[in-house]
Each structure stands twice: as structure tokens, then as C-alpha cells.
Amino acid sequence: MYFALQRNRQNMGRRYIEVFRCKKQEYYQAIAMEVNDSRNSYERDVPFTRVTPVPPKSVPEKDLEHTEVLRLRGLPFSVSKREIINFFNESFLKDENIHIVTHSDGRATGEAFVEFSSPEESKAAMKKDKMTLGSRYVELFPSSRDEATSAAARSRLTR
């Protein structure tokens, strides 16, 4: 366990990772969630064959069309709307512009959607990509209202 904790706030490949101590119950809940999620990915008729969806072709960020919506990933689980507004240093953002994604049980997923007043403002906000909020490394992605709506359907967005 000590060896794993030494890896906190380091990179694994191109990804920044954080390592936390947790209680056994939290560990078992996380494993149960993974098992339940993976069961939905298996074909029912063929045992031990995992169905892996083909990921969409990766489009370089510079080629993505900017809308007024950004998706934030890697947020602290306890982040508030005010902290996100302060992160962007934007006084014109209001609480109703911030949508924090949570699991069905109310726990934060570490993702949020932010609505800016124009595509140009969201593009300018991308300068904050890969900066830290609290102790977490935050990634920003151009998004859309459709993606935010889809996330709301899969989970719960706080408003």
C-alpha cells in the first residue's frame, strides 16, 4: 500500500493520477460498480467474450468545432459551482451556467459542463486546459448541448 501511495500526483503514461487511501467498504463498492458495469458490456450468449465498442475516430482538438459548451473532466469530487466560476476568472458566468455531473446516488463523477455566452468565449476558456483546480488536474473539451443532455440522461446533473 505504501508503494502505491508514493505514486500520488504522478503521471501514468499521458494521464495524471491521484492515489487515495480508502476504507474496505469503499473499495468493495467500487469493485461492485465495475462488475455491474462490465456485465452490461458482455454478450449474454457467448460466455467470457467481452463486447468492446469501437471508439470514434479521434479528432484533434484544434479541428473540433467550438460551441458555447465545454466539458470539464478531472474535477475535485467536492467542487462547487463557485469554484468553477473562479477557475475561469469569469464574473459573467452564473450558477445556472454550471452543470456538475453526479452518479444516481448523488456522488460527483468529476465531470461538469459549462455554458459560455458564445463559442468564442468557450474557445478562449480552453487556455485553462490541463490546469489545476484545487489539487486536481482538469481537462477541458469542446462539447455541445446534446452531449450535456446525454450526460444528464445517463446520470444526474446538478443545477
pLDDT in tens, 112-121: 999 999 999 9
Residue 46 lies in a domain: no
With respect to residue 55, please indicate whether it lies within any of the assigned structural domains.
Answer: no
Confidence check: pLDDT of 103 > 50: yes
| Per-position b or e across 45-54, b if 16+ CB within 10 A of its CB | eeeeeeeeee
- Cα separation of 67 and 2, whole Å? 44
User: Which of 70, 97, 82, 92 is closest to 134 using CA atoms?
Assistant: 82
User: In the numeric block, which cell numbers belong to residue 116?
Assistant: 459560455
Q: What is the pLDDT of residue 107?
A: 87
In this structure, are 98 and 128 located in the same domain? Answer: yes
pLDDT for res 40: 52
More confident residue, 20 or 106: 106
Same domain, 82 and 150: yes
Q: For the purposes of burial, counting CB atoms within 10 Å of the CB of 35, is it exposed (0-12), middle (13-18) or buried (19 or more)?
A: exposed
Residue 146 forms part of a structural domain:
yes
* Residue 52 resides in a domain: no
Taking 90 as the threshold, does the pLDDT of residue 111 lie above it?
yes
N-terminal to C-terminal alpha carbon distance within the chain:
38
Host domain of residue 18: 2-39
Per the structure, the count of domains in the chain is 2
Q: Are residues 15 and 91 in the same domain?
A: no
Predicted pLDDT at 37: 59
- % residues pLDDT > 90 (the chain): 36
- The C-alpha cell of 135 is what? 489539487
Whole-model pTM: value is 0.60
What average pLDDT is seen over the chain? 77
Assess if residue 124 is contained within a domain. Answer: yes
* pLDDT tens-digit series, residues 33-74: 777 655 554 444 444 444 444 444 444 554 557 789 999 999
